[in-house]
Structure 1
Amino acid sequence: MTTSTPQTLIQEHRELVSLPVIVTRLNEMINDPACSAADIAETLSQDAALAARLLKIVNSPFYGFPSRIDTISMAVTIVGTRQLRDLTMATLVVNKFNRLPEELVTPEHFWRHNIAVACAARTLAERLQITHTERLFITGLLHDIGKLVMYLTRPETSARLLSRAREEHQDLGSLERSEFGFDHAELGAELLRQWHLPESLIEPVARHHQPALATQYQREAAIIHLANAIGNTIESVLTADDDLPIDTRVWKMLDLSPDELADLTAESDLTLKHALQVMFTELAA
């Protein structure tokens, strides 16, 4: 057993799990009251390839705005600074973390699963009439980021635990806690905390397998829990621990009916196709 803490594991591999520089800069600017929307637009516009990609996304069916958005300044005004930060993070994080130990998981498998969960979370947010659906999208995209950290920093141990979970039909989270002293959900939440992301993303990632234990953002945790189940239907399961029954309490938490699951799954699948076409073209089949 090699117990430590999520903080120490991340600190030991800070360069390996750091955010892309521009996302770190955007986080700092958004949290700085002296920075204006114009300042943020200027920073995004300095990267021509990123600016072009963001404009392609906001003008796609993924958003469905009635009129064309021609500049990053207009995108900031219409979409919002935090929402555009989330889109920037979504596109760049997938590109940054595109090398994983192939014996554990391919980058395509890892990210298609997480993008499917992100799209399901966005679909659920729209069904529940939650504003700023990008917040739930990015939470779904990052819900398993703790697994990625484990794979990158402890590949041999991760392979052994995955094998035990599969062959012995054991709960992967329990095996992780026995080995590391924490599970992938806790590790992912700590990484988001060190990335200076808001608690509205952190707690749902920490509790996506146990939404009833969330205290401040239980509704968001329930969305990610249900989105994970939907994602496992429209894309292949990432690891055995993901293929779990839906916690039936989430239906009451979200004021939804199990009868809506088939419809939500179909909508999520369509959203996934749009996302792969415009945001993650390198992963589109």
Structure 2
Amino acid sequence: MHTAAVVRTQAGLIEQTLEDIKGLMSLPEVYQRVRALIDDPNSDIDQFVEVVASDPNLTVAVLKVANSAFFGFAGKIDSLNRAVNMLGIGQLHDLVLATSAIASLQLPNDIMPLKTFWRFSLFSAVLTRLLASQLKIPKSERLFVIGLLYEIGHLVLYAKHPELAKRAIELSRNNQEMLHTAEQKLFGMHYGEIGAKLMAQWCLPAHFQDIVHYQPTPDLAPEQRRETALLHLVRACAEKYIFGHMSAIEQSVSADIWDILQLNSELLTDTVEKALKAATEMEKLMFN
């Protein structure tokens, strides 16, 4: 039985984690330097290249991503300067943020190995961007990073409160209900809200926070309804194609998603196939 007092206590634990987040899950210096350059109106591309070059792992990641088929740049990109120029500052920021955030936490293997989390996140990011582009949703390229980070609330739960996370997963399975519903019962909040709070700590745009917050419950989204509905659908696809969930996608999403997005199942199936291929290639680039 989940009494109100127990729920408040567990919510308090998570809130305390989020309040102390800078000590528990601080982003590395390289990200802080990239962010400072973005906020400086007098910064130039050479300064961004210099920051990336100071981190060997990030240098390799940027070059690999720039050469991936997903971005489709012509010719081999063997210079860091050209890679940063081709990706652009916005996508460079997104790449640094996502890789820094996910790498900053250690996941318990019995809940989800880090490599599995990356596979889920990469597929989500690629599918989000591809669908957003096809649906002509503005700034589709920036939705890539939301696709990478919309599960960040689960990262916090898995890494910092694994026993609570396991209880939510067990409750979800036993009651045959959505995971966010079980989390709401146990903690008084779900992973979307936790992720949004974390994004606020990082001073990410308010619409990023809103999309992540309401992605599990798109019917409640006050704004950004199409983007939120898109992420809601993408997560159902990721659960099916990455985790192997047996439920049909139609059974895992809100009924009005299709009308909001004006999307048919044939286009979705075709795009999922493209996303699986592109995400697999990006995974090989990043882990090999």
TM-score, normalised to structure 2, is 0.85
Which residue pairs with 2:88 in the alignment? 80
Of 197-206 and 88-97, deviating more is 88-97
Deviations 1:102-141 (A, max 9, x none): 3322223323222221221122123234565442221111
Please say which of residues 128-137 and 75-84 is displaced more in the overlay.
Answer: 128-137
C-alpha separation in 2, matches of 1:54 and 1:33: 23
Deviating more after overlay: 54-63 vs 253-262 = 253-262
Q: Which residue of 159, 163, 187 corresponds with 1:156?
A: 163
CA contact (8 A) 1:176 1:183 kept: yes
> Of 246, 249, 254, which aligns to 2:253?
246
**Which range is displaced more, 173-182 or 149-158?**
173-182
Tell me the secondary structure at the aligned position of residue 24 of structure 2: coil
In 1, distance between residues paired with 2:258 and 2:177? 27
Once the two structures are superposed, what CA deviation does each residue of 1:171-207 show, in whole Å capped at 9, x if it has no partner?
4323322332211110011101111212232211111
Aligned to 1:47: 55
What pairs up with 1:189-228 in 2 under 5 angstroms? 189-228=196-235
Residue 60 of structure 1: SS of its match in structure 2?
Answer: coil
Q: How far apart, in 1, do the equivalents of 2:164 and 2:250 lie? A: 21
Q: Tell me the residue number matched to 2:148.
A: 141
1:96 matched to which residue of 2?
104
Once the 2 structures are TM-superposed, how far is the Cα of residue 74 of structure 1 from its aligned partner? 2.6
Distance 1:281 1:151, change over 3 A: same
Between the aligned partners of 2:177 and 2:138, the Cα distance in structure 1 is: 39
Is the contact between residue 115 and residue 140 of structure 1 (CA under 8 Å) also seen in structure 2? Answer: yes
Relative to 1, partners in 2 of residues 1:33 and 1:163: Cα closer, same or farther, differing over 3 Å? same
- CA RMSD after TM alignment: 2.6
Query: Which blocks of at least 5 consecutive residues in structure 2 are unaligned?
Result: 1-5
Choose from 172, 175, 193 the match for 2:179: 172
SS in 1 for 2:133: helix
Q: Which amino acid aligns with 2:125?
A: A
Cα 1:95–1:137 shift into 2, 3 Å? same
8 Å CA contact 1:144–1:184 kept in 2: the answer is yes
Query: Counterpart in 2 of 1:260?
Result: 267
Whether 1:28 aligns to 2:36 is yes
For residues 103 and 49 of structure 1, the distance between their equivalents in structure 2, rounded to whole angstroms, comes to 27
SS in 2 for 1:15: helix
What do the CA deviations read for 1:198-227 (whole angstroms, capped 9, x no partner)? 223221111112223223322221221121
Aligned AA for 1:155? P
CA–CA distance in structure 2, aligned partners of residues 73 and 129 of structure 1: 30
**Structure with greater helix percent:** 2
CA 1:109/1:13 → structure 2, altered by over 3 Å: closer, same or farther?
Answer: same
**Percentage of pairs with the same residue:** 30
1:14 is matched with: 22
Whole-angstrom CA distance in 2 between matches of 1:273 and 1:18 = 29
Q: Which amino acid aligns with 1:62?
A: F
Mapped to 1, the partners of 2:66 and 2:268 lie a distance apart of 28
**Distance in 2 between residues matched to 1:227 and 1:4, nearest whole Å:** 30
Asked whether the 8 Å contact 1:6–1:182 carries over to 2, the reply is no
Query: Cα distance, 1:236 vs. partner?
Result: 0.7
Q: Which amino acid aligns with 1:87?
A: L
Quick check: 1:5–1:181 contact (8 Å CA) kept in 2?
no
Q: Which amino acid counterpart does residue 222 of structure 2 have in structure 1?
A: T
Structure 1 residues 202-211 or 37-46, which shifts more?
37-46
| In structure 2, C-alpha distance between the alignment counterparts of 1:187 and 1:200, rounded to whole Å | 15
Provide the TM-score with structure 1 as the length reference. Answer: 0.86
Q: Give the C-alpha shift of residue 151 in structure 1.
A: 1.7
